[in-house]
Amino acid sequence: MDHRGTKLLTFAALTLAVTAASAAPKENRGLSALAWLEPRGALQALSNEPDRRLHVRSSENPAATDDPGSTKRRWQQISAGEILFHTPILLGGQAAKAGISCASCHVNGRDNAHFQFPGVSHDPGTADVTHSFFSSFRGDDHFNPVSIPDLTRPGKISHENPEELEKFIRGLIVEEFDGQEPGNAALTALAAYVRALRPCDGCSPRPLIMTTHLGRVKQALSAAVQIEASEQRLSHLLIGGARTQLSLIHERYADKKLARERTAITKLSVDLATLQDNIGVRSARYYQLHRKATDQIQALRKLLADSESRSLYNPERLEAYLEKHAIRQRPTH
């Protein structure tokens, strides 16, 4: 077995210990992103993310008269697509086991100069998109990593050509990552988000803080409820995305003295799983669960904010944690 094969087997064993993206948070086992971040850039990657710029027009025809209703629907699609972009379970296969989402490589739609997946990347910021570890469809038995593209820039696939981007995204999910068919509603939402991405030249990175992840929980729940009646499968994925974000928060509140916070995070995740089970029922219980989850998010925000300085969202604590643990949490090269 060659060196890359040995590293991949090591990593496969590691992924078995990673909490599944849609599961309730369990006892902390470290920061999952360390499995695919190069150690020297981990602090930067876990402390900041590129600012994001989104734009939408009310019609695919630039000359069309603005329709407020159409614009609102497009923003709803963009919001749902952004959550799916951060949801590992959408990709399925080994990516979901490792907690890797579209956003792991394309942070806020950009590239990721610190992404370095063992055996699949060469230099930081690269990935072999035809590697058999992720794909049984596109694996070509050659190690040929390429630079991760910035999705806000023109690429080989037109963002404007109707259906071309949707077809491309579907191929990435189903063929590049062995994921399940995402469905038309999910593809439409993802394509809407990618089309809305805009460059942000000169923008400073923004801090990656607790409200970054908790804000996505709220966004996911709102998007799921808005489309629940007509698109139950997409709604289920979105709530799964909310639970993924809760898992990321849970990882950061690792101090033993933050047990109360971790318990509250887990409780909300479990309640969201119950909400998932009631999608499509349209019963009084469904609405009761939705209101309860909304109230929990508000209460959780205050609880977490009061102790955020003691969590791994605090850059100084994060740096100390990485110095102590980072190298031991990923296979060596």
What percentage of the chain's residues is helix, strand, coil (to nearest 5)? 55, 5, 40
CB atoms within 10 A of CB 144: 11
Question: Using a CB cutoff of 8 Å and minimum separation of 24, what contacts does 287-292 make?
Answer: 290/221, 290/225
Q: Which of 17-21, 74-78, 207-211 has the lowest mean pLDDT?
A: 17-21
Average pLDDT, integer, range 170-193: 94
What was the pLDDT predicted at 8? 44
Is residue 228 domain-resident? yes
Domain assignment present for 214: yes
What pLDDT is attached to residue 91?
Answer: 94
Question: Does residue 116 form part of some domain?
Answer: no
What is the reported pLDDT for 229? 64
| 219 inside domain | yes
Pick the more confident residue, 59 or 95. 95
Residue 101 forms part of a structural domain: no
Statement: residue 227 has pLDDT above 50:
yes
Mean pLDDT value of segment 263-288: 88
On the question of pLDDT at 64 being above 80, the answer is no
Q: Which of 83, 131, 85, 97 is nearest to 19 (CA)?
A: 97
Q: Which two tokens stand for residue 49?
A: 């993310």
User: What pTM, to 2 d.p., does this model score?
Assistant: 0.87
Number of domains into which the chain is organized? 1
Distance separating alpha carbons of residues 311 and 24, to the nearest angstrom: 19
Q: Which domain holds residue 216?
A: 209-312
Within a domain: 297: yes
Q: Is residue 85 in some structural domain?
A: no
The reply to whether 220 falls in a domain is yes
- Give me the pLDDT at residue 279, please: 85
- Domain containing residue 303: CATH number: 1.20.120
pLDDT at position 22 over 70? no
DSSP string covering 86-134, please?
T-GGGT-HHHHHHT--HHHHSGGGS--TTB--TTT-SSTTEE-TT-TTT
Residue 332: its pLDDT value, please?
A: 44
Confidence of residue 11 (pLDDT cuts 50, 70, 90): very low
**Per residue in 104-155, pLDDT tens?**
999 999 999 999 999 999 999 999 988 888 888 787 888 999 999 999 988 8
Say which residue the tokens 């409820």 belong to: 225
Residue 5: the pLDDT is 43
